[in-house]
Amino acid sequence: MNTQTILQAQDLDLFYGENQALKAINMEIPERRITALIGPSGCGKSTFLRTINRMNDLIPGVSVRGKMTYRGEDIYSPEIDVTWLRKKVGMVFQKANPFPMSIYDNIAYGPRIHGIRKKAELDQIVEESLRGAALWDEVKDRLKKSALGLSGGQQQRMCIARALAVQPDVLLMDESTSALDPGSTMRIEELMSQLKERYTVVIVTHNMQQAVRVSDHCAFFLLGELVEYGPTQQLFSQPKDKRTEDYITGRFG
């Protein structure tokens, strides 16, 4: 790959108790590109995504072997500050999860936790983050209104703005458009393409057209294994593995 690797899995295994959900994953994720994870339900896509910001740590009984590095640092080493990691590696979920507070306070939430108090500074972060998530023009006159009053698509873009507000480096998106109508999905896809100018984006999607439309690289998972990984165009036009071919042509999953 001709760009710098930002995230690298090396022989990464993950167990939920006895059950192995990731099997010896080796994968280099390039900086400022969109990488899509595809594969049938239960194959380990969300699990893999959560290893990147150690969200799996919150699940009892999880054990990890092997390595995941972020900019060369092993994120499972004891020296890693998990709060720092999660600031660098933000996450947007399948279902928008606005906090029951104003739009402004949703966006300012993270920066406040990280110690930013000055109103002028917060105002600027809120505006920049909402602009970054292509939502500013729609909400600039109602910042003090409840975020719960936004439409589903707006709520999801607000969650993206909230993730951007702490100045992450990597953005993880787990099926972030699956609950949205086609128009909102299109807006978020356009947004992803803008975001990759500044951020590394890793998405999980069940929508193969979406993977083709937005991603630069694509990884096909099956039963906890990374079956195939490469440039998206190549993976979809000339899959190397029969299982990839069967999946993308709709023979299973």
Ligand X SMILES: Nc1ncnc2c1ncn2[C@@H]1O[C@H](COP(=O)(O)OP(=O)(O)OP(=O)(O)O)[C@@H](O)[C@H]1O
The residue ranges that bind ligand X (CB under 6 A) are 16, 19, 21, 39, 41-47, 59
Q: Considering the rule CB under 5 A, would residue 176 count as an interface residue with Mg ion?
A: no
Q: Report the C-alpha gap between 164 and 172 in whole angstroms.
A: 11
Find the shortest distance in angstroms from Cβ 91 to Mg ion: 12
CB of residue 16 to ligand X, shortest distance in Å: 3
Region from 41-49, 53-61, 65-73, 236-244 binding Mg ion, contact rule CB under 5 A: 41-49
What is the nearest approach in angstroms of Mg ion to the Cβ of residue 204? Answer: 6
Per the structure block, which two tokens stand in for 232? 């998206």
Can you name the residues that pair with 13 across neighbouring β-strands?
65
Q: Helix, strand or coil for residue 118?
A: coil
CB of 57 to ligand X, least distance (A): 12
Rounded to a whole number of angstroms, the minimum distance from the CB of residue 199 to ligand X is 22
In the list ligand X, Mg ion, none, the entry touching 253 (Cβ below 5 to 8 angstroms by class) is: none
In the bound state with Mg ion, the residue whose beta carbon lies nearer, of 37 and 103, is 37
What is the distance between the alpha carbons of residues 49 and 41, in angstroms, rounded to a whole number? 14
Indicate the helix (H) or strand (E) that contains 19: strand 19-30
What character string, x for contact with Mg ion (CB under 5 A) and - otherwise, covers 42-61?
A: ----x---------------
> In sequence order, what are the beta bridge partners of 65?
13
What spatial distance separates the first Cα and last Cα of the chain, rounded to whole Å? 29
Give the shortest CB-184-to-ligand X separation in angstroms. 20
Q: Does 205 participate in binding Mg ion (rule CB under 5 A)?
A: no
Q: Nearer to ligand X by C-beta: 51 or 200? A: 51
Select 57 or 181, whichever has its Cβ closest to ligand X.
57
Residue 154 interacts with Mg ion (CB under 5 A)? no
Question: How many residues sit in the footprint of Mg ion (CB under 5 A)?
Answer: 1
Strand, coil or helix: 23: strand
As a whole number of angstroms, the distance between CA 35 and CA 223 comes to: 19
Cβ-contact 147, 98 below 8 angstroms: yes
Q: What is the 3-state secondary structure (H, E, C) of 160-186?
A: HHHHHCCCCCEEEEECCCCCCCHHHHH
75 binds, among Mg ion, ligand X, none (CB under 5 to 8 A by kind): none
Helix (H) or strand (E) holding 6: strand 5-16
Give the nearer residue to ligand X in terms of CB position, either 59 or 148: 59
Positions touching Mg ion (CB under 5 A) are 46
